[in-house]
């Protein structure tokens, strides 16, 4: 059961950023995780036919730290990578998708988990997570246990400067670990949707919820959730009529490590089938936070975060590349 983003999307806090980074990493941390639910991370409400085969070939390290990468083709050529990390430089450009250099000309709003959607007029919507809570003591960071996360949106004409952020209407009900890592995408009907990690009463593992917007600025949360059982970090590769494809990671709860990458499919963006076997797993490493951009028909450049297995919530985290291919 899942839903998510377009081929990088065409729409028809640094509150001590170290603190923000820490809060982002906890965004997919289950607060229960007693192992009493979701023994198998491949459950789904519907068994859709996987009539095409996907393979994910791991590439090389980008030499950059971070989580929740956002990767798009830049209108001026090459690729733009937006990073969530403790570094102040969070925008990088590449001509080949492998070698990324900082772009100090891009002034991003303070936040985390950046996600871009292009409007029909070629302007851009930038979504990101900010933090709300009582100020900390002088000289001390804010206390994460008192903060709630909110999703903001800024606009841009050139991907260099961005308007002041405004609230989207999607925010955390109260302080908690398992919330965030939102992604935005465009439906076949032209609406903008958002998916994020949350925790709900009665579920021992993280769930994924969605919200819908007609203008890309103000969102209304949809009822219930679309994915359960500890799948996190969704990224929609394709959202077409009758054909939706998403990448997912898995909970960082200790008893279900290492984190893996799964593929999910749907005919309507609401009820999803998740492949029984992961696309990517390794006993000694976590793979999480997939982001992707289509580089050729049936082929995507994927950027992932990775860490050692026992450092799922502490890091350090680094970006690695991979190639996803679809075959009939």
pLDDT for residue 13: 34
Chain segment 20-52, per-residue pLDDT in tens = 444 455 556 654 444 433 333 334 444 455 667
**Cβ neighbours of residue 308 closer than 8 Å, sequence gap 6 or more:** 284, 285, 286
Residue found under tokens 């192992």: 35
Q: How far apart are CA 214 and CA 320, in angstroms?
A: 35
Write out the H or E segment, with its range, that includes residue 294.
Answer: strand 285-296
* Domains of the chain, earliest start first: 14-32+51-327 (2.120.10.10)
Q: How far apart are CA 135 and CA 79, in angstroms?
A: 37
pLDDT for residue 21: 46
Q: How far apart are CA 56 and CA 51, in angstroms?
A: 17
Q: Which residues of the chain have pLDDT under 50?
A: 1-23, 31-47
Q: Is 250 helix (H, G, I), strand (E, B) or coil?
A: strand
Strand partners, 288: 305
Contact (CB, 8 A) for 246 and 272: yes
pLDDT for residue 176: 75
**Residues 7, 10, 13, 14, Cα dihedral to 10°:** 50
pLDDT for residue 142: 62
pLDDT for residue 144: 62
């Amino acid at each position: 059961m899942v839903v998510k983003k377009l081929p990088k999307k065409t729409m028809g806090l640094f509150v001590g950023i170290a603190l923000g980074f820490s809060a982002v990493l906890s965004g997919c941390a289950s607060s229960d995780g007693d192992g009493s639910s979701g023994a198998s991370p491949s459950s789904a409400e519907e068994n859709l036919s996987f009539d095409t085969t996907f393979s994910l070939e791991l590439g090389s390290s980008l030499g950059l730290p971070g989580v929740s990468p956002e990767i798009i083709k830049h209108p001026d050529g090459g690729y733009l990578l937006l990073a969530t990390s403790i570094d102040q430089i969070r925008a990088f450009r590449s001509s080949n998708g492998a070698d990324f250099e900082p772009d100090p000309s891009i002034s991003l709003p303070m936040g985390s988990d950046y996600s871009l959607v292009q409007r029909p007029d070629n302007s851009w919507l930038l979504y990101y997570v900010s933090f709300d809570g009582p100020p900390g003591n002088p000289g001390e960071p804010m206390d994460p246990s008192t903060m709630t996360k909110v999703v903001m949106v800024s606009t841009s004409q050139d991907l260099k400067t961005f308007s002041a952020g405004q609230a989207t209407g999607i925010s955390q009900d109260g302080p908690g670990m398992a919330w965030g890592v939102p992604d935005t995408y465009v439906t076949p009907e032209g609406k903008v949707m958002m998916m994020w990690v949350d925790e709900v009463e009665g579920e021992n593992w993280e769930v994924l919820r969605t919200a819908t917007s007609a203008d890309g600025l103000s969102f209304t949360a949809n009822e219930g959730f679309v994915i359960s059982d500890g799948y996190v970090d969704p990224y929609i590769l394709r959202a077409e009529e009758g054909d939706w494809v998403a990448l997912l990671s898995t909970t960082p709860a200790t008893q279900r490590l290492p984190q893996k990458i799964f593929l999910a499919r749907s005919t309507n963006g609401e009820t999803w089938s998740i492949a029984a076997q992961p696309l990517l797993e390794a006993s000694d490493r976590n793979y999480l936070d997939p982001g992707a951009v289509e580089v050729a028909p049936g082929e995507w450049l994927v950027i992932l975060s990775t860490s050692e297995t026992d450092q799922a919530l502490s890091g350090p985290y680094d970006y690695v590349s991979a190639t996803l291919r679809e075959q009939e």
